[in-house]
Structure 1
Amino acid sequence: MTPDWLEQTPKAAQDYVANRRLDEIECIVADIAGVARGKAMPASKFARQEKFFLPNSIFLQTITGEWADNPSGAFTEPDMILTPDYQTTTAAPWTADFTLQVIHDAYDQQGQPVPVAPRNVLKRVVGLFEAQGWRPIVAPEMEFFLVARNTDPNQPIIPPMGRSGRRAAAKQAYSLSAVDEYGKVIDDIYDFAEAQGFEIDGILQEGGAGQIEINLAHGDPVRLADEIFFFKRLIREAALRHDCYATFMAKPIEGEPGSAMHIHHSVVDLQTGQNIFSDDKGREAAPFLHFIAGMQAHLPAAIALLAPYVNSYRRYVPDFAAPINLEWGRDNRTTGIRVPISGPEARRVENRLAGMDCNPYLGIAASLACGYLGLTEARDPRPECLGDAYISEDELPLTLGDALDLMSESKPMREVLGDEFINVYESVKRNEYKEFLQVISPWEREHLLLNV
């Protein structure tokens, strides 16, 4: 007999457990870093409960497992109420038994959304669009590296061994032969995605050694952030099956390009369903330019969310396929804000600044927040960049500390994302930054030990 709650889940989840004994449910929520936190329980127990509890301190935990200071004062760790969003239910096809994952929404004990929960932050931004009569649409691109197993952090990351017996080579962008080198991993990614009900728009080889890009079809921002959250785990599990790692670090290998999470945005009118970036004659409309202007004005204050770690800023290197500017241009990949070729109904703006290491909920929320502010401020962008934007002057923070300063001081970002969230995020990231600064690198030992 199918449990009542399972009837509220997507068809892919129901198909996965059809005529099988469902063993376990993983109740999960994304923390500040995008790490899945929660608890696993027998399916029979999950069916008897409507809510679960976790301490709100999970949003103060850093990527190293330490605890950041609580900006609101006492560290009392009250319980949050976690409510399942059954529409996020999906398989965990790599497990030995039959397991489903369910993303939960976090509420306080008064029934209000927890303002620092990343999924709630994104829902808040989407709600601001909806209050104006708009629906934001996004299409993310995920870049990542397959790398050889690395069990010693003191050793550099190297590319994986391919089926040819050679390590993956760089500068093979768009090569199908390069993708075939680790075809078994790709096959498992496809199989896992199909079992989980996810649609892959395309897979291609990027410019780095072992670097892959997966494109997802456009859609609702919260649903797409959920999918990226799930995809990161899915891809890691597929890689582990074939004796390699998948990494979403922004810059895992010295001398190779970094990994981005390019985000395409459009906005449709809730009443008409029409793309507001195009007028009734198919031409570029004023809101299209306003959205771009908002990104130019507010992206500096959002970089701490799009580039959340010290390693993130190693990706912002000129001439390494990572734009470090606020220029915009049509079909110009050297600009930080690109307008891809498209028809009027699909006119969109691509943010090329976000790193794949960002929390997908927060990266999409921050990017949409910049566009939303542009729409409401109705400002105009700078003239289009028609040449090589890589030679433009630096306009973005190039260290995590500077990025956090800009975010913390930005009143518009605080208004859109919420004061409490900004304060908690800053506390977590300051803690991580301080911990990093206490580590002495091999470069320092090599060049400073005997020379200064």
Structure 2
Amino acid sequence: MTSFNDKLPAAAQAYLEGRRLDEVECIISDLPGIARGKAVPASKFEKQEYFHLPDSIFYQTITGDWGEAAGDDGFIEKDMILRPDMSTATAAPWTGDWTLQVIHDAYDRKGKPVPFSPRNVLKNVVQLYRDQGWKPVVAPEMEFYLVARNIDPAKQIEPMMGRSGRPAAARQAYSMTAVDEFGPVIDDIYDFAEAQGFEIDGITQEGGAGQLEINLRHGDPVKLADEVFYFKRLIREAALRHDCFATFMAKPIADEPGSAMHIHHSVLDIETGKNIFSGPQGGETDAFFHFIAGLQNHLPAAIAIMAPYVNSYRRYTRDHAAPINLEWGRDNRTTGIRIPLAGPEARRIENRLGGMDCNPYLGIAASLACGYLGLIEEKRPDKQFKGDAYEGEEDIPRVMGEALDLFEEAVELQKVLGPDFSRVYSIVKRAEYEEFLQVISPWEREHLLLNV
């Protein structure tokens, strides 16, 4: 096993030190961000260079139904070749035996990357930046709720029971006492993250009852998307140990704030290593303003990716700390595009539109794609917004169907994300939306049954 261990990242080597690896989970993200794959004995994984899964995993809706997205060959479920990226090997510390997880990349039988695999979509967008001599850097923020176990979909979601024996309280943003309520869950999150080699920049209590935020250190977009992908599973497993659920729904509780995945962006010049958003004297550059313009001009069409479900659009309200428009402002959390306080080297642009329910690879890819188009088009943004942006006009799609209409018309955005991906994504999301429209809600039964 020595040669195999040498291929592993340091954290995985440390996790296995003095232990015998039992199993390897070979995984890949589907469109919703669910881990698909298979578990194999460690002895078999050491010998295998790849494994197969059908391409139909990318045609599946969140409910397990299928979109008719197979293309000219028809729905024959062709095998993809999945090859491990050993730099992603990490512990699965919640398992009963010694297990590693390894993210795989998808290729077709000719060795070409499968264009609608989410990780490949993000890799392609990052490569477009590199082709221009740029290195994109991101830092995601993850918001989520710890809630009471909910095994009946007809029952409303409720906050989890805290350490004090009382339900988690709302309106306690940044409260350390509120964080202490979830202490045992947070301890496991830290322990699991350490075992997996992930560096958490901080955990804070957000405004919702049982809502937490985890910030990750800035870095390479693919690496950070891998970490968010892993973190979602890690957090769910930590919650289950303490008789609660972790949910990444954009709007799980009606009267509470939604959960976002804010994405901070900066771009470095590959040759110099300098932040292209800051000039020699530390001032804001044309590139800084072009990136903002790209977000303003192209995010409306990208919302279908960053807000991928019907529930996602419930988050965009004036009352609960989510943006309702694409205004930009300095140190202003009411705007959709925020410029945080930072020195010239750390100058960055925060996209506050994404929900935590989005696939991290696709959400980051879509946000980067908008910024890339801005850098290429070299347009100027609207005037900086000063004051409360909730007093401005709404310019974000409010329903999934409208967002998909904008996405399907966005030729330039689809070129950057890839035409094949865009076709498959649109078909699958249309199928999912049609499924939802067949469901009669309790609101309809209550107010329409006898009144209309």
Structures share a fold, TM > 0.5?
yes
- What corresponds to 2:132 in structure 1? 132
**In the TM superposition, what is the alpha-carbon distance from 1:19 to its structure 2 partner?**
1.1
> Equivalent residue of 1:262, what SS?
strand
Letter in 1 for 2:249: M
Aligned to 2:300, what secondary structure does the other structure show? helix
Q: Does 1:15 align with 2:14?
A: yes
What is the alpha-carbon distance in structure 1 between the residues aligned to residue 165 and residue 75 of structure 2? 53
Kindly provide the CA deviation profile for residues 295-315 of structure 1, in whole angstroms up to 9, marking residues without a partner as x. 000000100000000000000
Whole-Å Cα distance in 2 between the matches of residues 362 and 349 of structure 1? Answer: 18
Structure 1 segment 221-300 matched on structure 2, within 5 A: 221-300=221-300
Structure 1 residue runs without a partner (length 5+): none
Query: Contact 1:225/1:360 (CA < 8 Å) preserved in 2?
Result: yes
Give the match for residue 61 of structure 1. 60
Distance 2:320 2:47 in 1: 53
Report the alpha carbon displacement of residue 6 of structure 1 after superposing the two structures with TM.
Answer: 2.7
Cα distance, 1:93 vs. partner? 0.1
The aligned residue for residue 188 of structure 1 is 188
Look up the equivalent residue of 1:68 and give its one-letter code.
G
The match for 2:365 is 365
Tell me if structure 1 keeps the 8 A contact 2:306–2:354: yes
User: Which stretch shifts more, 433-442 or 359-368?
Assistant: 433-442
**Aligned position for 2:49:** 50
Aligned-partner Cα distance in 2 for 1:372–1:70: 27
Q: 2:392 and 2:123 mapped to 1: Cα distance?
A: 35
Give, as a single letter, the amino acid of the residue that structure 2 aligns with 1:306: M
> Which residue identity does 1:17 align to in structure 2?
L
Which one-letter code corresponds to 1:171 in the other structure?
Answer: R
Aligned equivalents of 1:6, 1:397: Cα separation in 2: 49
| 230-239 or 433-442, larger mean C-alpha shift | 433-442
Q: Provide Cα deviations, 1:187-218, integer angstroms capped at 9, x if missing partner.
A: 00000000000000000000000000000000
Deviation at 1:319, TM superposition (A): 2.5
Identity of aligned residues (%): 71
Corresponding position of 1:34: 33
2:103 alignment partner in structure 1: 103
User: Quick check: 1:71–1:427 contact (8 Å CA) kept in 2?
Assistant: no
In the alignment, what sits opposite 1:205?
A: 205
> What is the deviation of 1:396?
1.5
Contact 1:56–1:78, Cα closer than 8 Å, also in 2: yes
Name the counterpart of 2:416: 416
Q: Distance in 1 between matches of 2:375 and 2:349?
A: 13
1:145 and 2:145 correspond: yes
Distance 2:423 2:393 in 1: 30
Which whole-Å CA distance do the structure 2 matches of 1:424 and 1:70 have between them? Answer: 5
Question: d(CA) in 2 for partners of 1:392 and 1:5?
Answer: 57
Residue 263 of structure 1: how far off its partner (Å): 0.2
Q: Does the 8 Å CA contact 2:159/2:209 hold for their aligned counterparts?
A: yes
Contact 1:5/1:86, CA 8 A, preserved across alignment: no
Tell me the distance in 1 between the aligned counterparts of 2:298 and 2:4: 42
Q: Deviations over 1:346-390 (max 9, x none)?
A: 000000000000000000000000000000000000100011111
- Which 5+ residue runs of structure 2 have no aligned equivalent? none
Look up the SS of the partner of 1:87 in the other structure.
helix
Structure 2 residue identity aligned to 1:359: N
Contact 2:307-2:357 at 8 Å conserved across structures: yes
Report the TM-score, using the length of structure 2 for normalisation: 0.99
In 1, the alpha carbon distance for the partners of 2:362 and 2:293 equals: 21
Supply the RMSD in Å over aligned alpha carbons. Answer: 0.7
Q: In terms of mean alpha carbon deviation, does 427-436 or 351-360 score higher?
A: 427-436
- Can you list the C-alpha shifts for 1:203-239, whole angstroms capped at 9, x where unaligned? 0000000000000000000000000000000000000
Query: 1:137 touches 1:221 (CA, 8 Å); kept in 2?
Result: yes
Q: 1:70 and 1:307 mapped to 2: Cα distance?
A: 21
- Whether the 8 Å contact between 1:25 and 1:41 is mirrored in structure 2 is yes
Q: Which amino acid is the alignment partner of residue 39 of structure 1?
A: K
Is structure 2 residue 438 aligned with structure 1 residue 432?
Answer: no
Shift of 1:71: 5.2
CA distance 1:360–1:353, change in 2 (3 Å): same
- The reply to whether residue 82 of structure 1 matches residue 77 of structure 2 is no
Whole-angstrom CA distance in 1 between matches of 2:121 and 2:249: 23
Distance 2:42 2:182 in 1: 35
**Matches of 1:209 and 1:372, distance apart in 2:** 37
Counterpart code for 2:433: Y
Whether 1:350 and 2:343 are equivalent positions in the alignment is no
Separation in structure 2 between the aligned mates of residue 324 and residue 71 of structure 1, nearest angstrom: 36
Q: After superposition, what is the alpha-carbon deviation per residue over 1:402-427, rounded to whole angstroms, capped at 9, x for unaligned?
A: 11111111011111001110110011
Whether the 8 Å CA contact 2:56–2:70 is kept in 1: the answer is no
Q: Write the distance in 1 (CA, Å) between the matches of 2:416 and 2:23.
A: 38
CA contact (8 A) 1:71 1:423 kept: no
Aligned partners of 1:25 and 1:64: how far apart in 2? Answer: 27
CA distance in 1, matches of 2:4, 2:222: 21
Q: Which amino acid aligns with 1:204?
A: T
CA distance in 2 between partners of 1:228 and 1:416 (Å):
23
User: What letter is aligned with 2:286?
Assistant: A
